[in-house]
Amino acid sequence: MKPAQFDYLRPGSLAEAIEALGANPDSKVLAGGQSLIPMMNMRLARPSALVDIGRIDGLAGISANGSLRVGATTRQAEVLADATVQRRWPLITAALRHVGHPATRARGTFGGSIAHAEPAAELPAAMLALDAAFTVHRPGGTRTVAATDFFLGHYTTVLAEDELLGHVDVPALGGSHWAFAEVARRHGDYALTGVAVRLTPDADGVVTDARVALFAVSSRPVRSAAAERLLVGTRVGDAEAATAAGKVALDDIEVAEDSFVSATYRTEATAAIVRRALLEAATNPKGEN
Amino acid sequence: METRQGNVAVEMTVNGEPMVGIAEPRTLLSDFLRHGLGMTGTHVGCEQGVCGACTVLIDGQPARSCLTFAVQAEGCRVDTVEGMAEGGALSDVQEAFRAEHGLQCGFCTPGFLAATEALLAENPDPTDDEIRDYLSGNICRCTGYQGIIAAVRRAAQTRKAASA
Ligand SMILES: Cc1cc2nc3c(=O)[nH]c(=O)nc-3n(C[C@@H](O)[C@H](O)[C@H](O)COP(=O)(O)OP(=O)(O)OC[C@H]3O[C@@H](n4cnc5c(N)ncnc54)[C@H](O)[C@@H]3O)c2cc1C
Ligand code: FES
Ligand code: FES
């Protein structure tokens, strides 16, 4: 099918983009188009105008000092190929390998994947596990939103219609253990369940802080408070703790059921991959500082 | 701010030649190439990003032309299957697909050829696993893929030999 008609706006600056979004009710941001255009082709989305942010200077790029900054329109392929990200934030590299295919990653953007808030998407969960912060541009200024506060539900975030995700900041990962695991029907498909893990150890290898971020289990990416609580005080790589954390991971989380799998399947598969990820975290090479 | 409403002229470089065609903002790059420019080598299978038949190169990077509006590619370099053979002689990648039976009906082939060009540009000597991983976004309903993997391997070898 073909998309319905719309006006195409290509702002040259962030300020113009914000103005265009405000002035055109029912408009949408166009970034890589790899989620929006399929929805428009199927007429699941019919925006009256698209604001193409793909050519705004300064909105794309990767920089790393203590922390990592990724501009919203940076292509997923570029982040995946980035040597600094591979060395210092390998959790992001691992997550990106599962996002679509080379041709969708060459156009799809880092920020688009986050703003789209598909519950089965990999990057949002990676952002939760890494305590990322999102800088949002709005009329008259910016605001910063923690990843934990950003995702509200299916394809829904705290972004207002005239707001734009500008860039993402990720604190250093060095010294923490990490792992990423998912179950999908084929490589590159959206996950049926998945998890991103980060464990901060003390000098004796005992977990002092844990992040267990689940995706494709519910209407939005969520941290498992139960699993995180259980892991603090255990040893990194402890098999019993890993099994127990997998079992409680979905306590207090409403598990989704869909045309692919039942809630029971999801719960059991989630327990298995949380366990697997926690064991892998002990052996995955840690990110460098 | 640049604004496009209704029919507008869109310019891009296709297979090295500057081209202008008429497009609405909603015209997909796949339709622009096929209907606007009459270049029907780029095939359209699913029009939702799943099959990869419509894959072309935009500024050297692989892209699904059904998930790109023509206006987004304005001023860009677009390479399609029509630009591969020179003077009627198959390109090295095309020749390898022919030699290894990397196609039967040929519907998926323009997309596979574009993806293969992108793979070899990025990784001139890919392993079988890397080939499979890279081509995982392209679907073929005829060959069973073995011939395609062999073709990519052969193309890589040919290119390596030619540049040695
Ligand atoms: C075949 C196929 C397989 C895929 N598989 C996966 C997968 O396994 N995992 C996965 O996570 N994704 C997958 N995707 C989707 C992924 O490729 C998209 O790139 C991503 O979801 C959206 O990023 P985009 O830049 O393409 O955004 P667009 O499609 O341009 O936009 C998506 C939405 O986000 C909004 N938006 C985008 N950028 C911003 C911004 N900076 N500020 C505010 N709003 C913004 C848009 O308005 C729109 O509503 C797949 C896509 C295809 C076609
Ligand atoms: S036609 Fe574009 S991916 Fe199928
Ligand atoms: S050759 Fe027929 S679909 Fe691939």
Q: Where are the beta strands (DSSP E) in A156-272?
A: 156-157, 164-170, 177-183, 193-201, 207-215, 222-223
Domain B92-163 in CATH 1.10.150.120? yes
- Give the pLDDT of residue A68: 98
| Cα A172 to the center of its chain, rounded Å | 17
- Give the pLDDT of residue A189: 83
Is residue A123 a contact partner of residue A96, using CB atoms and an 8 Å limit? yes
Q: Where are the beta strands (DSSP E) in chain B?
A: 2-4, 8-14, 17-23, 55-58, 61-64, 77-79
Residue nearest to atom 33 of ligand 1 (CA): A116
CA of B139 to the centre of ligand 3 (A): 8
Percentage above 70 pLDDT, chain B: 100
Quote the minimal CA–CA distance from A172 to chain B in Å: 29
- Give the pLDDT of residue A190: 87
- Give the pLDDT of residue A187: 80
pLDDT per position as a tens digit, A160-193? 999 999 999 999 998 899 999 999 988 878 899 9
Torsion B60-B62-B63-B65 (CA) sign? positive
- Give the pLDDT of residue A156: 97
- Give the pLDDT of residue A286: 86
| CATH class label, A177-281 | alpha beta
| CATH class label, B4-83 | alpha beta
Domain A7-52 in CATH 3.10.20.30? no
pLDDT per position as a tens digit, A201-242? 999 999 999 999 999 999 999 999 999 999 999 999 999 999
Beta strands B77-79 and B8-14, pairing class:
parallel
Quote the minimal CA–CA distance from A147 to chain B in Å: 28
- Give the pLDDT of residue B46: 97
Burial B22-60 (b: 16+ CB within 10 A, else e): ebbbbbbbbbbbbebbebebbbbbebebbbbbbbbbbee
pLDDT per position as a tens digit, B3-17? 988 999 999 999 999
* Positions in chain A whose pLDDT score sits under 70: none
- Cβ of A156: how many Cβ atoms within 10 Å? 12
Return the ligand 2 atom nearest residue B47 CA: 1
* Positions in chain B whose pLDDT score sits under 50: none
What is the spatial distance between Cα A214 and Cα A211, in angstroms, rounded to a whole number? 10
Domain boundaries, chain B: 4-83, 92-163
Which residues in chain A are closer than 8 Å to B118, comparing Cβ atoms?
A: 102-103, 106
- Give the pLDDT of residue A186: 83
Q: Which residue has the tokens 């009906």?
A: B105
What is the spatial distance between Cα A79 and Cα A85, in angstroms, rounded to a whole number? 7
CATH code: domain A62-170 is 3.30.465.10
Return the ligand 2 atom nearest residue B45 CA: 1
- In chain A, which residues fall in CATH 3.30.465.10? 62-170
- Give the pLDDT of residue B80: 98
Residue nearest to atom 6 of ligand 1 (CA): A100
What is the spatial distance between Cα A168 and Cα A283, in angstroms, rounded to a whole number? 28
Is the complex ipTM more than 0.90?
yes
- Give the pLDDT of residue A188: 77
* Tokens read off for B160: 């390596």
Nearest to A103 among B24, B48, B63 (CB): B63
